[in-house]
């Protein structure tokens, strides 16, 4: 079921961002931060905090993510490179990155993110994304795939407007 939801979020994010003329770039400041909470499947919860800039170079961006456990799952910190597509009030994005997870010892972690934002106004957006995390060494903790719903805040643009 989780894999089906993950694939559906992937398809929806790409479909929503494509218009008849292809991706477009609305005037929004690219700097953001946000958060989400999700169950880890092992009886606990994780709180996720994300921040980044989705337009460091055109549609390429960076994202920093921290997950704080409220259960047995390890805490994690990851840095991702992202690619964003925009159409009106909707952005879709994909990201790939590396990080570390800390429990009884440190683990290397790979991460894949696919999702979309629905902008409710100039600064507030809902996001839906699918995430897959792979921890090394394999088998130390289960790899995870989840679909997340969260809230994002766009930092107000400096005088002169948002991204070109």
Domains identified in the chain and CATH numbers: 2-19+35-154 (2.40.160)
Beta bridge partners of 48: 36, 67
pTM assigned to the model:
0.77
Tell me the C-alpha distance between 47 and 74, whole Å. 12
Q: 126, 142 in Cβ contact below 8 A?
A: no
Per-residue pLDDT reduced to its tens digit, 95-136? 999 999 887 777 899 999 999 999 998 899 999 999 998 888
For 40-140, where are the E strands, in sequence order? 45-57, 60-69, 75-87, 90-102, 106-119, 124-136
Tell me the C-alpha distance between 142 and 139, whole Å. 6
Per-residue pLDDT reduced to its tens digit, 50-91? 999 999 998 999 999 999 988 777 789 999 999 999 888 899
């Amino acid at each position: 079921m989780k894999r089906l939801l993950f694939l559906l979020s992937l398809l929806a994010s790409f479909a929503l961002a494509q218009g008849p003329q292809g991706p477009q770039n609305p005037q929004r400041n690219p700097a953001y931060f946000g958060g989400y909470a999700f169950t880890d499947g092992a009886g606990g919860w994780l709180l996720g905090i994300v921040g980044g800039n989705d337009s460091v170079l055109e549609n390429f961006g960076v994202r920093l993510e921290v997950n704080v456990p409220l259960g047995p799952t390890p805490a994690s910190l990851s840095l991702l490179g992202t690619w964003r597509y925009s159409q009106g009030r909707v952005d879709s994005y994909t990201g790939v990155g590396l990080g570390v997870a800390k429990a009884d010892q440190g683990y290397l972690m790979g991460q894949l993110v696919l999702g979309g934002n629905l902008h409710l106004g100039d600064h507030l957006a809902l996001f839906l994304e699918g995430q897959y995390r792979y921890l090394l060494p394999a088998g130390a903790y289960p790899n995870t795939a989840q679909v997340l719903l969260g809230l994002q805040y766009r930092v107000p643009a400096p005088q002169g407007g948002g991204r070109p």
